[in-house]
Structure 1
Amino acid sequence: MAAVREPEWLKERRGDAARRAAELDVPRFKGKAGWEFTDITKLDLATFAAAAPGEGDASAADRVETLLEAPEGAHHLGQVDGRVIDGGDTPDDLLVLPLTLACETHADLVHEHLGTIVDPELNVFTALNDAGWTGGAFVYVPRGVRVEQPIVLSAISDAAGTALHRRVLIVLEEGAEAEVWEQHLSGTTDNETLLNSVVELRVGQNARLRFVGAQDMNEKSWVFGAQRAEVARDGHLDWVTAGFGSGNGKVFTETLLAGEGSHAKVTGAYAPHARQHVDFHTLQEHGAANTTSDLAFRGILADRSSAVWRGMIKVDEGAQQTDAFQECRNLLLSKKAHVDAIPGLEILANDVRCTHAAAIAQIDPEQVFYLNSRGLDDAASKRLVIEGFMAELIERFEPGPIREAMAGAIERRLSVLLD
């Protein structure tokens, strides 16, 4: 991809962000609210060089095994480190572009939305992303347009010692419909890399977006993310997130129901093993009356792995008739695996219905005994119990490509955990 010229407003934004980043420290274990359970003291940001625009080994796209199997006809856009891989033609009635290119060719449109959803001062990682993102993706669906096939965005971290600051901006105008899948992968199994992702989703009035964000990075990588959506009046967001890889990190997943009658469904899955650590921080913010949200996370943990889920339902003042639910259920395959599941409520309205639940358990020996009595050995019995535990999660996906892709991804991950 040819070099692009950045508009002045973007250059100024990058400069301001770089100055902010220089003033911020890496969040310290037990020293920063929200980071009490994730120790990143071994992270030295100075050892990672930001991915250079246009630089990356394109052959990595052929080396990696995809996480989400996309159906025929899907629209693709890829990136290896700082190099964009052209995904081919897209229909004339929508935009699927590298964000760097969109800043040149559709500067006013990008300027209107970029940086308006995720707080660039959330932490040092969002500031670094604001200053140094490259490549990225911009998806724009105009008013009333319905995209029939999924849009698949792939980002591969490949070169050792590289920090990929990845930026994705998705905008659906009024009445638009689309399905966007983003997957983060590693080009090798042993190169230590850092993925620092920011995703901004804007769902317009009466628009419908399904967004799938999944990562299967290698177990030497660091993963940090700030993902936030704003849903306008009568808009609908179906958000799926999965964290199978990486060695350590933390991801914020936030939804603001900004318009009356808006709805969000968030479904998450994680499955670490060995000494992996994953951390999800979710927020369902109800900023308007008559809004609904439904969040469900499932975790399966093996060996000495650990996970954190911290969820918050926040009902703003005046957001009456809110109906919100959240749950996180975890299955431990080892006595040395550990989970912290922390649901929370912050309610500033008096006519609401908000419920939450969290559970952590090991495989029930009575279930295994029952299956043994039907002729199955222990390995087959435990696998059936685990598959049953995840089946309820898969049923949250509508029949079609997304259910097939997520079911396949979970099945392959279980094979890793149970080997």
Structure 2
Amino acid sequence: MAAIREPEWLKERRGEAARRAAALDVPRFKGKAGWEFTDISKLDLASFTAALPGEGDASAVDRVETLLEAPEGAHHLGQVDGRVIDGGDAPDDLLVLPLTLACETHGDLVAEHFGKVVDTQQDVFTELNDAGWTGGAFVYVPRGVRVEQPIVLTAISDTEKTALHRRVLIVLEEGAEAEVWEQHLSGTTDNETLLTSVVELRVGQNARLRFVGAQDLNEKTWVFGSQRAEVARDGHLDWVTAGFGSANGKVFTETLLAGEGSHARVTGAYAPHGRQHVDFHTLQEHGAANTTSDLAFRGILADRSSVVWRGMIKVDPGAQQTDAFQECRNLLLSKKAHADAIPGLEILANDVRCTHAAAIAQIDPEQVFYLRARGLDDAHSKRLVIEGFMAELIERFEPGPIREAMTVALDRRLAVLLD
């Protein structure tokens, strides 16, 4: 593989981030705002080595079971640790490139958008990502272009004690339309790895983006993510996030409705078991008038697993006629499973409608009794109750490839939880 020539601005940015990262510690449990419910004191950050450009076992692609089954004709781009795996060719009017290559071949275009959405000075994980990302993905859809098939980005963490710093930049210009699926997978069930993910989404004026971010990492992997979208005037974002794997970590999912008339719908699904811990921190920021957002997270928890969801609706000054909603509902399959759902509002305008809801419950025994009275056994009765609980989430997906892919993924995950 030929060496990638990085532009000077990127080299300088990496160096500054590395210096800042060296001075930072891992966020302490209950010692840093936002980390009160996630204890990562067992993480030995120094024991992980960053994935090097071009290094990775390509055979991992054949070892993993994909999470999201893409339809025929989808555009693919993947990587295993630091090694880029080439996929199908993209049309001439669409860029789907490793971000490292895009920095060399389309440096000015990348520089216009790179690092403009996510503040990478949040913590040690975002700083390490900014300094050491490799491979990654750059998706650019020019003005007025409509991409008919999904773009599928796959990142596989494979080698023991390797840190994969994954960076994704997606840009849709005015009037463009696209659907991008990103999935994080593990090459083995046993290797302990670390994933940091920074995702930047820029949705232009009157553009439409569906972004699906899902992970089914093995249960020894640490995952830390900072994902943020910026939606311009009359833009539309449909964001789907799913967390099925990993051992522990925290993911920030933030949306800024920056232009008047913009809209965002965010749908989250998670299903941990064993002693898995999942932490989602969401933000719906309304930065302009006449914007709408709708967020719904649902999860099923088994065994001794735990989940944290903390959501904030923020309405900036002047963002009148905001209409925002958020909810988080959890179904506990075990008396030892635990969920925290913490909605919040920060309203700095006086003509808005903002509402939220949160619920945590176990399977209703009366529903199970009703089904058993009609001839079903206990296992089938409980499964139907769980499927009914998740059905409302599935209905948020439009008929088509994404609904089919998420239905299959949820069914497969439910079988693991009920095994």
TM-score, normalized by length of structure 1?
Answer: 1.00
Q: Partners in 2 of 1:168 and 1:141 — Cα distance? A: 14
Aligned to 2:169: 169
Alignment of 1:339-358 (within 5 A): 339-358=339-358
Pairwise CA distance, 1:22: 1.0
Pairwise CA distance, 1:326: 0.1
Pairwise CA distance, 1:32: 0.4
What do residues 17-50 of structure 1 show as CA deviations (whole Å, max 9, x unaligned)? 0011111111000000000000000001100000
Q: Partners in 2 of 1:273 and 1:97 — Cα distance? A: 35
What do residues 372-396 of structure 1 show as CA deviations (whole Å, max 9, x unaligned)? 0000010000000000000000000
Q: Partners in 2 of 1:67 and 1:268 — Cα distance? A: 15
What do residues 62-121 of structure 1 show as CA deviations (whole Å, max 9, x unaligned)? 100000000000000000000000002110001000000000000000001100100011
Q: Partners in 2 of 1:166 and 1:3 — Cα distance? A: 19
Q: Partners in 2 of 1:25 and 1:334 — Cα distance? A: 35
The residue matched to 2:69 in structure 1 has which SS? coil
What do residues 247-287 of structure 1 show as CA deviations (whole Å, max 9, x unaligned)? 00000000000000000000000000000000000000000
Q: Partners in 1 of 2:58 and 2:118 — Cα distance? A: 30
Pairwise CA distance, 1:3: 1.8
Pairwise CA distance, 1:126: 0.6
Q: Partners in 1 of 2:282 and 2:102 — Cα distance? A: 29
Q: Partners in 2 of 1:199 and 1:257 — Cα distance? A: 16
Structure 1 position 118 matched with structure 2 position 155:
no
Pairwise CA distance, 1:139: 0.1
Aligned to 1:274: 274
Q: Partners in 2 of 1:224 and 1:87 — Cα distance? A: 26
Q: Partners in 2 of 1:25 and 1:261 — Cα distance? A: 41
Aligned to 1:182: 182
Pairwise CA distance, 1:136: 0.1
Q: Partners in 2 of 1:218 and 1:240 — Cα distance? A: 21
What do residues 112-147 of structure 1 show as CA deviations (whole Å, max 9, x unaligned)? 110010001111111100000000000000000000
What do residues 209-263 of structure 1 show as CA deviations (whole Å, max 9, x unaligned)? 0000000000000000000000000000000000000000000000000000000
What do residues 148-205 of structure 1 show as CA deviations (whole Å, max 9, x unaligned)? 0000000000000000000000000000000000000000000000000000000000
Q: Partners in 1 of 2:12 and 2:41 — Cα distance? A: 32
The residue matched to 1:140 in structure 2 has which SS? strand
Q: Partners in 1 of 2:343 and 2:20 — Cα distance? A: 31
Q: Partners in 1 of 2:70 and 2:103 — Cα distance? A: 28
Runs of 4 or more, structure 1, over 2 Å off, are none
Aligned to 1:52: 52
The residue matched to 2:366 in structure 1 has which SS? helix
Q: Partners in 2 of 1:211 and 1:2 — Cα distance? A: 31
Q: Partners in 2 of 1:412 and 1:383 — Cα distance? A: 13
What do residues 307-338 of structure 1 show as CA deviations (whole Å, max 9, x unaligned)? 00000000000000000000000000000000
Pairwise CA distance, 1:305: 0.2
Q: Partners in 2 of 1:62 and 1:3 — Cα distance? A: 26
The residue matched to 1:356 in structure 2 has which SS? strand
Aligned to 1:102: 102
Q: Partners in 1 of 2:269 and 2:2 — Cα distance? A: 38
Aligned to 1:220: 220
The residue matched to 1:78 in structure 2 has which SS? strand
Pairwise CA distance, 1:2: 2.5
The residue matched to 1:381 in structure 2 has which SS? helix
Q: Partners in 2 of 1:12 and 1:220 — Cα distance? A: 34
For the aligned residue pairs, the C-alpha RMSD in angstroms reads 0.4
Q: Partners in 2 of 1:87 and 1:223 — Cα distance? A: 25
Aligned to 1:412: 412
Q: Partners in 1 of 2:62 and 2:292 — Cα distance? A: 42
For these two proteins, the number of residue pairs brought into alignment is 419
Alignment of 1:35-184 (within 5 A): 35-184=35-184
Q: Partners in 2 of 1:207 and 1:110 — Cα distance? A: 19
Q: Partners in 2 of 1:13 and 1:49 — Cα distance? A: 20
Pairwise CA distance, 1:401: 0.1
Q: Partners in 1 of 2:20 and 2:170 — Cα distance? A: 25
Q: Partners in 2 of 1:96 and 1:89 — Cα distance? A: 8
TM-score, normalized by length of structure 2?
Answer: 1.00
Q: Partners in 2 of 1:94 and 1:118 — Cα distance? A: 23
